[in-house]
Amino acid sequence: PLDLAVTPMRVLQDPLVGPRCRALFEDGGVDDRLLVMLFLMAERLRPTSLWKPYLDVLPSTFGSSVWFDDEELAEVEGTTLHRATVMQKKSLQALFNDKVKALVEELLHIDEAGRSVMILLHVAIATSLFLHIFPMRAV
């Protein structure tokens, strides 16, 4: 049933994230992809989420180079993979700083020290899940 699908419309109708995401969406601050990612992050961080059983079975690690630690990334230095990975990590950090951190903190009332790292991890997880479930196809 459509009620069980995570869609941009479902995100906009959600009582927790919907109103804030709707404002961002109407202002052009987020697109459909980011709406779904924000929803996944917020629900993954909410201990009482109705989506918790589903989110708990989704992968939380991926083989993408975005997940490489410094040592692994150093092994591919000088390659196009290294450049692409560094660019993607910078893009994820910018997305986190510009759109995600304050919104997730506001929605979940997160203000404890150290939570930024956890939220950034969830940005990476949500991005990886989105790309894993909806892979980009070359045109």
Quote the number of domains for the chain.
1
Residue 57 domain flag: yes
Q: What is the pLDDT of residues 49-86, one digit of tens each?
A: 888 888 888 877 778 888 888 899 999 999 999 999 89
Range(s) of the domain holding residue 26: 2-133
**Burial, 124: exposed, middle or buried (Cβ in 10 Å; 0-12, 13-18, 19+)?**
buried
Residue 139 domain flag: no
pLDDT under 70: residue ranges of the chain: 1, 104, 107-139
CATH number reported for the structural domain that contains residue 121 in this entry: 3.90.1410.10
Tell me, what's the pLDDT at 106? 72
pTM, rounded to two decimals: 0.64
Find out whether 14 and 20 touch, Cβ atoms under 8 Å. Answer: no
Residue 138 domain flag: no
